[in-house]
Amino acid sequence: MKLNRLSVLSEDIKDLNFNELLQLAQDTSRVSIGNVTDDDVTFTLFTQTLEGGKTISAKQNDVDVNKLTKVIIHGWIANNRRSWYKDITELFLRNADCNVIQVDWEKPARAAYVSSAINTKLIGDKIAKFLTDTKIPPHNVHMVGHSLGAHIAGFAGKRVYQVTGTKISRITGLDPAGPYFQERIFVESERLDKEDADVVDVIHTDAGAYGVVFPIGTLDIYVNKGRAPQPGCAYDFSANSVGEFVENSFCSHSRSTAYFTEWINGGIFTCRMCRSWAYYVINLCPRTVKLAANDVNENITGICITTTRGVRPFLYH
């Protein structure tokens, strides 16, 4: 099915003007812990017949609960107007007759980082309440979260399991946020964890900086060793604008969204599979697997070591 571009303007950081960047800087100096209202978390539904999107609630929605439901969750200082939201939404709808629900938690995300990080549990609980109130079967749900959004997905998964006794089908963590969460690596209840869904696949691209270092999923994919700089993300001070300079500083962290977009569009990760972190450290990973996005299941576990190109298309086909 061919879909038109979603009629939503992109709002990547590089597109912001100076005054908008200044306002963003002012917002991120604000500390607001625990003050998250229902209005701070909105849900927009897209389907193959509802391309323009429609804001919904648990009480008023057009969600067909018998279809697979994809839930997309952004990270810090972001919103649902980011270009990767549009790209992933379009591809999900092109590949399957499903529901795509874009989560927007922009107001709590535009705050001091530690404030936004602490509030991820509250955001996750609100997403879980939406899913359970809407009566979407957990086995039909696949959540995709970037950075703080990955941990939000984890908290939502935990809460859905507490309420229903059933785990959601899959969580994909796109370079889950490291700061604040790395120190909680041994406290599974305080971050995304492999037990939060039947399958938790994690793409690492900026480990040790903006992303977590250690494996936290059923399958952890370390792309180009999982660290910065990712190919094509060399530190560059020749940006054309302040916004572009700021966005470049997140290049490796954001590259996880680009890799995932290509992955669900037919790209392949050629993995050297490691049984565990210890095997990865000693480079004892003899088995090679070609992994497509739809291949991921409960039987594919461990650590995948893979590489990409430095220019688009990043993934090999």
Q: What is the mean pLDDT of residues 174-178?
A: 98
Where do the domains of the chain lie? 13-306
Percent of the chain with pLDDT over 90: 76
Q: Using CA atoms, how far apart are residues 188 and 244, in angstroms rounded to an integer?
A: 36
| pLDDT higher than threshold 90 for residue 316 | no
Instruction: Please spell the DSSP secondary structure of 200-246, one letter per residue.
Output: EEEEESSBTTTB--S--SSEEEEEGGG-SSPTT-------SSHHHHH
| pLDDT of 171 | 99
The number of helices, as runs of H, and strands, as runs of E, in the chain is 9, 11
Q: Is the dihedral of CA 289, 279, 277, 315 positive or negative?
A: negative
Residue 6 has pLDDT above 50, yes or no: no
Q: What is the pLDDT of residue 132?
A: 98
Residue type, 293: A
Higher pLDDT, 25 or 188: 188
pLDDT computed for residue 108 by the predictor = 95
Where is 143: in which H helix or E strand?
A: strand 141-146
The pLDDT score that the predictor gives to residue 27 is 74
| pLDDT tens per residue across span 89-115 | 999 999 999 999 999 999 999 989 999
- Report how far residue 313's alpha carbon sits from residue 208's, in angstroms, rounded to the nearest whole number: 26
pLDDT tens digits for range 228-243 = 999 999 765 555 554 4
Q: What per-residue string of b and e applies to 226-241 under the rule 16 or more CB within 10 Å gives b?
A: bbbbbeebeeeeeeee
pLDDT tier at 277, thresholds 50, 70, 90: confident
Mean predicted confidence (pLDDT) in 116-123: 97
Query: Given a cut of 50, is residue 5 above it in pLDDT?
Result: no
* Cut 0.75: pTM above it: yes
The strand order across the sheet containing 197-204 reads: 50-56, 42-47, 99-104, 69-73, 141-146, 168-174, 197-204, 219-223, 302-306, 269-274, 287-291
Between β-strands 99-104 and 42-47, what pairing exists: parallel, antiparallel or unpaired?
antiparallel
Residue 71: its pLDDT value, please?
99
In this prediction, residue 41 has a pLDDT band, given cuts at 50, 70 and 90, of: very high
What is the C-alpha separation between 14 and 30, in angstroms, rounded?
Answer: 22
Residue range 44-85, pLDDT digits in tens: 999 999 978 999 999 999 899 999 999 999 999 999 999 999
Is the model's pLDDT at 178 over the cut of 80?
yes
Torsion of CA 168, 83, 244, 21, to 10 degrees: -80
Mind telling me the catalytic residues? 147, 175, 253
Q: What is the CA radius of gyration of the chain?
A: 18
Give 214's Cβ-side CA count (13 Å radius): 16
The answer to whether domain 13-306 has CATH 3.10.129.10 is no
One-letter amino acid of 235:
Y
Question: CA torsion sign, 246 to 179 to 315 to 87?
Answer: negative
Q: What is the rounded CA–CA span in Å between residue 232 and residue 309?
A: 8
- pLDDT bracket for residue 14 (50, 70, 90): low
Question: Please, what is the average pLDDT of the chain?
Answer: 90
- Beta-bridged to residue 197, according to DSSP, are 168
How far is the C-alpha of 35 from the C-alpha of 32, rounded, in Å?
Answer: 6
Q: How many whole angstroms separate alpha carbon 220 and alpha carbon 296?
A: 11
β-strands 197-204, 219-223 pairing = parallel
